[in-house]
Homo-oligomer: A and B are copies of this chain.
Amino acid sequence: MIARAVLVPIVARALAEDLEGGDLTTEATVDPSAEATAQAVARGEIVVCGGEVFKAVFAEIDPTLEVATYTADGAVAQSGDVLWTVRGSARSILMGERTALNFVQRLSGTATLARKYVNSVPADSTTRITDTRKTTPGLRVLERYAVRTGGAHNHRDTLGSAILIKDNHIIAAGGITRAIERAKTRGPHTSKIEVEVESMSELEEALAAGADIVMLDNFSPSNVDAAVALAKGRALVEVSGRITLERIAVLARAGVDVVSVGALTHSAPAADIGLDIRTAEIGP
C-alpha cells in the first residue's frame, strides 16, 4: 500500500499536466449526463501492476466514479484479461483514460521486466535481483513498488538510506580502508556498508576493512568466481553494470548474492494495456 499522502500528489501532477485546460473534444462531443463503463484489458502477457494508481487517477478527476479490480497486482495476465473496470460519467472516464494508461503501462512494464529477470534465476539459487537508483525522476516510489510487484527486490531507496562507497568516495577519502573507517565512524549504525571494487586487490582491502557488501565492477567471469570464493562468509557479493537476462543464470550459479539491474527502471518498455470504453448515445 502506498500512503495516500504520497500517491495523490504524483497522480494530481500528471492530471494537471494533461487536463489543466480541460478536454476540448470530450466537452464538445459528449453530453454531461452520458454514462459509460470501461475495462482496462491486457493486450499481451504481462505482470499486472498499478491498481491503486488506476483508482487514484479516476478519483482525482471525479470521486463519483466507481473502480473495481479484476486482476491483482503481481498476477500474470494474458491478452484479453480484464484488469480493472471503471464506471460512471462518460466525460470523466474519457478525461482520465490516457493518464491512467500512462501510469499502468509503465508500472506493468517494469513489473513484467522484473519478473523476467527473477525467472532467469535458477530455482535452487538464492541470488536476488534488485533495482538501482536509476529511476524515472518523480516516480521512484511507484517504480520501486513495480519492481517488488515483479518479484525482484529494491536496492537502497535514497542517498540517505544506506552507504555505498564508490570510486570517487574512495579517492576523496584517500583509499578504501579509510573510506570504510569513516563510513563506520560517521554513518548510521542501521546501514550496512557497501563498497564498489574494481580488482581483486581492492576486494581484499574492502573485506579486510570490514565491508558488509562488495559490489564487483566489471569483473570477468573467472574473477567473479574468485571474488565469490574470497568473499563468501565475510560479505555479500553484488554484481552490477551491463547486466543482461542471459548473464543472470551464470551469475547465480557463481554464487553471487545480488544482481542489480538499472534497466528494470530506466529502460523497461511499456506494457500493452488498453481501455475499452462503452458509452451510450444520449437522446435524439
Contact = CB atoms under 8 A, between A and B. Distances in A.
A266 B236 CA distance: 35
Interface string A248-265: 000000000110001100
B277 A138 contact: no
Most buried by B among A12, A15, A134, A162: A162
Interface in A51-109: 59-63, 89-92, 94-96, 98-99, 101-103, 105-106, 109
A135 B262 CA distance: 20
A23 B187 CA distance: 10
Interface string A153-169: 11111111111111011
Interface of A: 1-6, 9-32, 34, 36, 59-63, 89-92, 94-96, 98-99, 101-103, 105-106, 109, 128, 130, 133-141, 144-145, 153-166, 168-174, 179, 182-183, 185-192, 194, 213, 236, 238, 257-258, 262-263, 266-267, 269-270, 277-282
Given A6-B16, A99-B137, 9 more contacts: A3-B15, A21-B141, A24-B161, A30-B172, A94-B169, A130-B189, A136-B139, A153-B188, A161-B190
